[in-house]
Every structure is written in structure tokens, then in C-alpha cells.
Chain A
Amino acid sequence: MNTNSNLYTVIYTSVVCVLVAAILAFVSQALAPRQEANEKAETISQILTAARFADKSEWDSKGNDAILSFYKENVEKAWLVNAQGEENGTLDISKAEIVTVAGLKKQNYAIKDGSELSLPVYRFKNGITVVPIYGAGLWGPVWGYIKTSRPSRAPISTTKARPRAWAERSRTILPSAPSLPATSRISTAPTARSLPSSKAAPPKIKREKMSRTTRLTPSLAPR
């Protein structure tokens, strides 16, 4: 057979392309469930890291099942909201249902289409709420997870003491900017903590005395 004829070349390349495509499609379908489980566990580990349960590196050493079971034990509620913040759906906690990055990308397109959004919100039993964000970056999309929480200690009441005197005597350093309202503080930089099973003590809030001249300077929160 003349391997350099036009007909042979066309048939040969067609057969090779169809064969290669079939092999890749088969392998992709066969491995898809495992890949999706890995992606789901990885997304949940990022949400749990934002919720300040542990560092990302600690989750990487755990298996998918351990991450999923930890999530199910510690999540209080997971729901979907529209652009006005009104609830328009729920995520099944028992199945550890979450919205992955691909789902967030679809919501990005929904903004352009003008259709109703379904944005996920996760609230955990430690009082932290995690909100995924997704948007355009410089060279490509950027996504992350923002946590909001109530402060661990409320500011000292100043109904009887003068505010200036209180500020002169002591200042409470909280792990986020004190200029934010006391009901919610936003932090995107989770601090390292050991896993709950090691029973680590919660961080202590530092008090330091400030002079009159320094009380007006912006707070530099220790991390």
C-alpha cells in the first residue's frame, strides 16, 4: 500500500483523530466522578480555611471524606441569596452541597444577562459566615472567600465613663479594624489555628495603655 498517497493520508489522519478522541472521552468520563469529588473537597477546604477552622495546609493532608464530614458537623446553614440579599434557595447540608468556582462563574454571566442571581452563603456554628466572591482580575478571573463574624468581646460600655477618659486609660485591640461597626467585622486573613480536635485555647485580646497623643492614630491590629 502506498503510504504517501493522498487518500491514505486523509483516511489515516481521520482514523487517528477519531481513535484519540474516543480514548480521551472514555478516560475523561471514567475519571470525572473522582475529579469532581476532589474539586468539591478542595473548595470546602478553602471555605473552612476562611471560616478560621484551620490552615489550608492542614486540610491538604486530610482526605476528602474527613473534610466533608468536618464541614457537615460544623456548618449551621447554607443558602442562596439574590442580588438584594433575599433568600431564594437552600443548599443541602447533609449532602455537603456547595457552589464551586464553575457555579460562581455562571453567576457572573447571570449578572450580564440580567437574570436572577443565586449566590451562596455559608454560616458555621462558630458564628462565622463565609461569602464566596468571583470577579474579573487583571489577567483572568479572581475568586476568594470572605468571612464575616461578630466580635468575640463587645466594646466597654461608656454610659457612665467619659469616652475620652476610657480611651486614655486603655484600648482593646481587636483582630480587625475598630472603625467598623461592632455588629460585624470583615476579615479576609484567617489566622493559623490548630484543628478543633487539639482543643486549642481561643486567642486572648490584648489591652495596652495608650497616651493621649497616640489614641487618635489608626489601629494596627496584631495578626
Chain B
Amino acid sequence: MDAKLKETILNPIFKGNPITVLVLGICSSLAVTVEMKGACVMALSVILVTGLSSLVCSLLRKTIPNRVRIIIQLVVVALMVILVDQFLKAYAYGIDKQLSVYIGLIITNCIVMGRIEAFALSNKPLPSLLDGLANGAGYGLILIVVAFFRELLGSGTLFGLPVLSALGYTNNGLVILPPMALIILGCIVWIQRAIQKDLQEK
């Protein structure tokens, strides 16, 4: 695989992770990480929206008037988000009810518009698609890690199946609260910067 394409795919997962390095899309990571199931659906939704939006905007990049490029990007992102929401309502109604407004709030997620503006408008469709998918995957990875600890320690379950609760574990209510998501995120940033020392600010 082309080295540049490889870097496009791998960079957003670790070294250029949108949450831990770029610090984008934090709010939804607090709200939808109470359970693994919700976090996985949200991660999949963001991957699809970011990838497809980047692809469409890259295809239109030479035709979009400069003065309305943000509006056109917003329209494209909104189209993708509403399509995802409609399909979730049709095929995963229970999950859609659980996630409620947070699917619609993907439109406001800075990662999506940020990657379109920074990458898709100045690159070809295939690298833009891969960049969008990879950034969505990097966001989703952090969501799943946070949700893993929050559901395991807060409810004693994983995907609704009893794990710690079957061993007599008493649920930790603090972990269910949103501030715990930030604390876990901080720990992930700490671990990442301890491993990748070039990310440490001097």
C-alpha cells in the first residue's frame, strides 16, 4: 500500500487521534459512553458520516463556490446524519431511542467538518474517504474504550451481559456520571503521551 495512504489511515487512530490529540468531539463522548452498545452504534455512525461526507465534499471540491463552502459542507453532513438516523429508526429502533438526540448532534461534531475543511477539500476522493473513515475510527476507538470502563465498573455488565455483577460486585455510581468520562479520557491522554513522547509539549 502507498506509504501516504497508509499514513492517512493510521495517523488518526493513534498519533493524530481526533479526541486525544486534536481534542475534538468531546461532548458526545461523555453522553453516549454509558453502555458499550450505544458507544458502538455511535462510533459506527460517526465513521459512516465522516467517511461519506469527506468523499462527497472531495468529489464536489472543484465546483463548490468559495463563499458558501461551509454551508455546502454543512448540508452534506446534515444529509448523511439524517440518512443514518432514518436507517437507525427503521432497523434499530431501540438503539435509536437510547441515543435519541446524540445521533442528530453528529452534525455539530467538530471532527466531521474539521476533516472536510482540512483534508477533503484539497485532496482526491479516495484519500479523503480513507481519511474520513480513519478519523471516525479513531473517535470510535476512544468511545469504546471509555464505554468499556464505564459500563464494566458502573453497571458490572458488558453489552448488557453480567460480568462483574455476577461476581457480587457493587456498582460504582460515580462511574456512570459524565465527569467520569472526562477523567477516563484524561487517563487515556496521559497513557498515550507517556508512550508517544513526541506528543508531549515542551
Contact = CB atoms under 8 A, between A and B. Distances in A.
Given A13-B72, A23-B79, A27-B83, A3 B64 contact: yes
Interface of A: 3-4, 8-9, 12-13, 16-17, 20, 23-24, 27-28, 31, 34-35, 38-39, 42, 60
A17 B135 CA distance: 27
Interface string B39-82: 00000000000000000000000111111100110011011001
Contact of A9 (B62, B65, B89, B94): B65
B87 interface: yes
Contacts of A39: 93
Contacts of B66: 3-4
Given A27-B83, A27-B86, A31-B86, A42 B93 contact: yes
11 contacts: A9-B65, A16-B72, A20-B75, A23-B83, A24-B83, A31-B89, A31-B90, A35-B89, A35-B90, A38-B93, A60-B94
B106 to A, nearest CB: 16
Contacts of B87: 31
B76 to A, nearest CB: 8
Contact of B71 (A4, A13, A27, A31): A13
B79 A34 contact: no
Nearest to A8: B65
Q: How large is the interface on B (under 10, 10 to 19, 20 to 34, 35 or more residues)?
A: 20 to 34
Contacts of B94: 42, 60
B97 interface: yes
A38 B65 contact: no
A17 B74 CA distance: 11
A27 B71 CA distance: 22
Which 7 A/B pairs are nearest by Cβ-Cβ distance? A38-B93, A31-B90, A34-B90, A9-B65, A35-B89, A20-B79, A35-B90
Given A3-B66, A20-B79, A34-B91, 5 more contacts: A3-B63, A12-B65, A13-B72, A20-B76, A35-B89
A64 to B, nearest CB: 9
Contacts of A4: 65-67
Contacts of A34: 90-91
B90 to A, nearest CB: 4
Nearest to B96: A38
A38 B90 contact: yes
Nearest to A28: B86
Nearest to B92: A38
Interface string B93-104: 110010000000
A60 B63 CA distance: 47
